[in-house]
Amino acid sequence: MPFGPKMDTNMSEATCWSTSEALGPKDRRYLAPHLYAAEVAGGAVILDMHSLEYYALDALSVAALRVNILDWPQRSTPDGDPERRASSKSLLDSLASRGFLSAAPADRRFSPSGVPPRSACHPIWNLRADSNDVLLMLCRLAAAYPRTLAYLRVKRLGALLTQLAPSRNTKSTRSPVPSQERILSLVTLYAKLRVWFYTAKDRCLLDSLVFLAVLRKYDLPATITIGVAPKPFSAHAWVQIHDCVLDDSVEHVREYTPILVA
């Protein structure tokens, strides 16, 4: 299976796999813990958390994985064709050689899906903030940005998301939904101060991770979603609080199929 250019954190390309083979029942496996998969029109995409690369699979490969990967997002039953099952060895070997298969189910911390977005919160640029709020946001942004950048440079996205994930006993998981005014003030303040550090254009993953880290400091129940879209392949990241998108529009994020939510 040929492999194309490596994926970077701008999320613009994917390596493509194409095969007409299916795996045999006796060779069924699980996806490795560092992989997340999502089916899209005409195939599927796999995200490798270790390398920050994406792999696109064609429809025939997806049909085989539905049958033989026991924790595949959409499962199906074998078609009973001995020839088809017998011809599957090369695909299985290729996946296994790259460490993409596991003999045991993975204990995944992150979800492959989240709350569907229904609304969005956009900055109000003439909204004024208290000087103490500005200073606090500035300090939290100054701490989150270099730390996030460092994790992405060494491709430790999983470790970063694990650290940002709230414990089941933290305040953010028990607190009520914040008011619209509170969310709006933080979204606006963040958007105003972010430009002192970087621009968000074509840096959706970095921006969403920094924003998530900042919101966690306010004990808000924010989540980050990484989504993928086919033909041409693209990937995107955004932040939500429940069903409200904080750094994008509902119309735009709905173009993407979630592959990981943290």
- The string of pLDDT tens digits covering residues 192-208 is 999 999 988 879 999 99
- The string of pLDDT tens digits covering residues 75-84 is 766 555 544 4
How is the chain split among helix, strand and coil, in percent rounded to 5?
Answer: 35, 20, 45
Q: Quick one: average pLDDT of 40-66?
A: 90
pLDDT at 94: 82
Average model confidence (pLDDT) across the chain: 84
The distance from CA 35 to its chain's CA centroid, rounded to whole angstroms, is 11
Q: Quick one: average pLDDT of 104-117?
A: 90
Tell whether the model's pLDDT for residue 108 goes beyond 70: yes
- pLDDT class of 1 with cuts at 50, 70, 90: very low
More confident position, 89 or 205: 205
Tell whether the model's pLDDT for residue 253 goes beyond 70: yes
- For residue 133, what are its two tokens? 């709020």
Tell whether the model's pLDDT for residue 11 goes beyond 50: no
Tell whether the model's pLDDT for residue 95 goes beyond 70: yes
For 19-45, b/e burial (b = at least 16 CB within 10 A) is bebbbbeebbbbbbbbbbbbbbeebbb
pLDDT at 135: 96
Q: Quick one: average pLDDT of 166-174?
A: 51
Tell whether the model's pLDDT for residue 173 goes beyond 70: no
Q: Which of 76-85, 150-159, 211-220 shows the lowest per-residue confidence on average (mean pLDDT)?
A: 76-85
Tell whether the model's pLDDT for residue 223 goes beyond 90: yes
Domain ranges of the chain: 15-102, 119-261
Q: How far apart are CA 260 and CA 54, in angstroms?
A: 12
pLDDT at 162: 93
